């Protein structure tokens, strides 16, 4: 949708002054997103760490300019890529302390996934590019999760510029390590449950996406994650395969055989005990997936190929939302360059992860994985050595949608988009979500800004101008509906 047509597409109900201001000031708000995207705050790469800190400082300054009180909480040192680096700060703070108003806690992450032009991007990933023809705003972090964070800033500014009082008190929790395991955040949230977050009435996280490209959604569940590294080593150094092939046990061969025992091409996890922990599906629940407004073709277009395991929409949705999955990600130490190097790698480290659903617990899953891989390795009859480690773990989360927080978001979505949102569980993970729910004992709701085809974590990540602008209106409208919602 070309950006200039945007205001006309809006329903009259959303012509609140703040929403109108957002629509009338698109260019300024797009420039704000551009500034954020152009700070390459990649949390997973030590060489980018200063940029993550720069992004944290930039965001803190923006919030302070808008009148928020923000503490930049230092998170201590971390060892990354063999270096000791300082963890990026968590921004904790508030705007408004009116005891008569509800208090909503906003969470977002200002770090992003890595991206290189050579991965296949059309434009430099850390150079913000607006395609005026399509209205798409390209750049790493545009949808995950800088667009949504800018959305909150846009809402606050729009209220100030139109002399509109914010309808709720806001609390903030913006972190810079979400893409890399949220180190230390759980302890911080547990501590602040008695401090900064003590008066919070509900939590809103905007760090998710519509399922497809046309129907908004509200998300009430996320999968958890258990991430493993599997090291296999033997020789003291890389060897010539002509000299030592068929002389030594090869770690890479052992690793391949071991990894072939993890999952079938149809996605069935082969580790005993894992599937048994999944809560059984009821007929009732299956219906929830059948009414979701998405087609297998929508998935194929987001995937860029006709490669779904099932042709059945509900099965595809459940594969993503309510069943676990096991993905093999890569191998450290393997020969991966071009050409035909005749090497026997001396030691390799394979990485795989399992997305978890209720009632799977990362620690229990770790025990099962350790036991199974050791047994299977024994069966190989190799003299190589094996080490299995769970690098990070996060529990799954499911919320009740029968709460004013969800009803407020539903109304807001209907007002801005003229459509009833789908209720979705998501396949991805935001490990801190369950901690918010448990430590604060408050309802948590995920309100998305971007679309299913935005390409989060992928090449050519984008957000559509309409989603950025109307998504900002939705966030603002939600705050008004939350303020109006009857206390329960
Ligand atoms: N925004 C995503 C989470 C998400 C993914 C929500 C898909 C909805 C749909 C988040 O930034 C993310 O990428 N999380 C990581 C967490 C991991 C590093 C622990 C993920 O899911 O891989
Ligand atoms: Mn995210
Ligand atoms: Mn992400």
346 has pLDDT over 50: yes
Confidence of residue 153 (pLDDT cuts 50, 70, 90): very high
Active site residue 111: yes
pLDDT above 70 as % of the chain: 97
Query: What is the average pLDDT score of the chain?
Result: 95
Q: What local confidence, expressed as pLDDT, does residue 302 receive?
A: 85
Confidence of residue 1 (pLDDT cuts 50, 70, 90): very low
C-alpha 220 to ligand 1 mean position (Å): 14
Of the residues 112, 142, 175, 207, which should be mutated to test ligand 1's pocket, given the most ligand atoms within 8 Å of the CB? 207
Q: Which ligand has the minimum distance to the alpha carbon of residue 394? A: 1
C-alpha 151 to ligand 2 mean position (Å): 14
Q: What local confidence, expressed as pLDDT, does residue 217 receive?
A: 98
**Known binding-site residue numbers:** 109, 144, 179, 207, 240, 342, 355, 429, 457
Q: What local confidence, expressed as pLDDT, does residue 15 receive?
A: 77
**Known binding-site residue numbers for Mn(2+):** 109, 144, 179, 207, 457
Confidence of residue 7 (pLDDT cuts 50, 70, 90): very low
Are the C-beta atoms of 189 and 436 separated by less than 8 Å? yes
Confidence of residue 12 (pLDDT cuts 50, 70, 90): low
C-alpha 177 to ligand 2 mean position (Å): 10
| Shortest-distance Cα residue to atom 19 of ligand 1 | 181
Q: What local confidence, expressed as pLDDT, does residue 81 receive?
A: 86
Average pLDDT over residues 286-298: 93
Q: Which atom of ligand 1 lies closest to the CA of 113?
A: 13
C-alpha 24 to ligand 1 mean position (Å): 32
Average pLDDT over residues 68-96: 97
Average pLDDT over residues 302-330: 96
Three-state SS for the chain is CCHHHCHHHCCHHHCCHHHHHHHHCHHHHHHHHHHHHCCCCECCCHHHHHHHHHHHHHHHHHHHHCCCEEEEECCCEEEECCEEEECCCEEEEEECCCCCCCEEEEEEECCECCCCHHHCCCCCCCCCEEECCCCEEECCCCCCCHHHHHHHHHHHHHHHHCCCCCCCEEEEEEECCHHHCCCCHHHHHHHHCCCCCCCCCEEEECCCECCCCCCCEEEEEECEEEEEEEEEECCCCCEEHHHHCCCCCCHHHHHHHHHCCCECCCCCECCCCCHHHCCCCCHHHHHHHHCCCCCHHHHHHHHCCCCCCCCCHHHHHHHHHCCCEEEEEEEECCCCCCCCCCEECCEEEEEEEEEECCCCCHHHHHHHHHHHHHHHHHHHCCCCEEEEEEEEEECCEECCCCCHHHHHHHHHHHHHHCCCCEEEEECCCCCHHHHHHHHHCCEEEECCCECCCCCCCCCCCEEEHHHHHHHHHHHHHHHHHHHHCCCC
Considering the candidates 51, 130, 175, 178, report the single residue annotated as catalytic.
178
| Shortest-distance Cα residue to atom 15 of ligand 1 | 429
Retrieve residue 184's tokens.
């230390």
Q: Which ligand has the minimum distance to the alpha carbon of residue 456? A: 3
Average pLDDT over residues 422-429: 96
Average pLDDT over residues 308-323: 97
Q: What is the pTM of this model?
A: 0.93
pLDDT above 90 as % of the chain: 94
Pocket of ligand 1 (CB under 6 A): 144-145, 178-179, 181, 207-209, 225, 394, 426-431
Protein residues with C-beta less than 5 angstroms from the ion ligand 3: 144
Question: CB burial class (10 A; 0-12, 13-18, 19+) of residue 454?
Answer: buried
C-alpha 174 to ligand 2 mean position (Å): 11
Active site residue 378: no
Of the residues 180, 456, 458, 461, which should be mutated to test ligand 1's pocket, given the most ligand atoms within 8 Å of the CB? 456
Average pLDDT over residues 184-191: 97
Q: What local confidence, expressed as pLDDT, does residue 183 receive?
A: 94
* Residue 82 backbone zone (phi > 0: left; psi -120 to 50: alpha; other: beta): left
Q: What local confidence, expressed as pLDDT, does residue 10 receive?
A: 55
| Shortest-distance Cα residue to atom 4 of ligand 1 | 428
3 has pLDDT over 90: no
Q: Which atom of ligand 1 lies closest to the CA of 223?
A: 21
Average pLDDT over residues 144-154: 99
Residue 125 CA to residue 121 CA, distance in Å, equals 7
Residue 270 CA to residue 376 CA, distance in Å, equals 11
């Amino acid at each position: 949708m070309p950006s200039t047509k945007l205001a006309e597409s809006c329903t009259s109900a959303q012509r609140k002054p703040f929403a109108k201001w957002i629509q009338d000031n698109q260019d300024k708000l797009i420039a704000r997103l551009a500034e954020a995207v152009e700070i390459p705050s990649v949390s997973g790469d030590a060489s980018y760490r200063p940029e993550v800190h720069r992004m944290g400082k930039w965001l803190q300054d923006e919030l302070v300019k808008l009148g928020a009180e923000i503490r930049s909480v230092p998170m201590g040192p971390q060892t990354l890529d063999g270096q000791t680096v300082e963890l990026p700060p968590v921004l904790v703070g508030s705007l408004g302390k009116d005891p008569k108003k509800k208090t909503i806690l906003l969470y977002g992450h200002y770090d992003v996934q890595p991206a290189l032009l050579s991965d296949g991007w059309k434009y430099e990933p850390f150079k913000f590019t607006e395609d005026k023809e399509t209205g798409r705003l390209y750049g790493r972090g545009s949808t995950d999760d800088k667009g949504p964070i800018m959305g909150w800033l846009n809402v606050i500014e729009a209220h100030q510029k139109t002399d509109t009082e914010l309808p709720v008190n806001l609390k903030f929790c913006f972190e810079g390590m979400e893409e890399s395991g949220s180190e230390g955040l759980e302890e911080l949230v547990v501590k602040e449950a008695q401090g900064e977050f003590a008066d919070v009435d509900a939590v809103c996280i905007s760090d998710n996406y519509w399922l497809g490209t046309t129907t908004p959604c509200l998300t009430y569940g996320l999968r958890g994650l258990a991430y493993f590294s599997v090291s296999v080593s033997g020789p003291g150094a890389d060897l010539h395969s002509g000299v030592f092939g068929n002389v030594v046990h090869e770690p890479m061969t052992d690793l391949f055989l071991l990894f072939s025992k993890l999952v079938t091409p149809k996605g069935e996890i082969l580790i005993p005990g894992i599937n048994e922990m999944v809560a059984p599906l009821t007929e009732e629940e299956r219906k929830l997936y059948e009414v979701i407004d998405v087609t297998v073709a929508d998935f194929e277009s987001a995937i860029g190929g006709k490669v779904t395991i099932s042709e059945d929409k509900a099965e595809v949705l459940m594969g993503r939302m309510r069943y676990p999955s096991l993905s093999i990600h890569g191998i450290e130490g393997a020969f991966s360059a071009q050409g035909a190097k005749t090497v026997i790698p001396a030691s390799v480290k394979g990485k795989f992860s399992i997305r978890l659903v209720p009632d799977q617990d990362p620690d229990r899953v770790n025990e099962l994985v350790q036991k199974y891989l050791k047994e299977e390795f024994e069966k190989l009859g190799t003299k190589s050595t094996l080490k299995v480690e769970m690098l990070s773990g996060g529990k799954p989360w499911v919320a009740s949608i029968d709460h004013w927080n969800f009803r407020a978001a539903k109304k807001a979505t209907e007002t801005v988009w003229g459509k009833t949102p789908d209720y979705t569980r998501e396949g991805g993970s935001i490990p801190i979500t369950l901690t918010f729910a448990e430590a604060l004992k408050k309802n948590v709701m995920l309100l998305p800004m971007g679309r299913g085809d935005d390409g989060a974590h992928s090449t050519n990540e984008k957000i559509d101008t309409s989603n950025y602008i109307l998504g900002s209106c939705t966030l603002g409208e939600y705050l008004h509906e939350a303020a109006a919602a009857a206390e329960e």
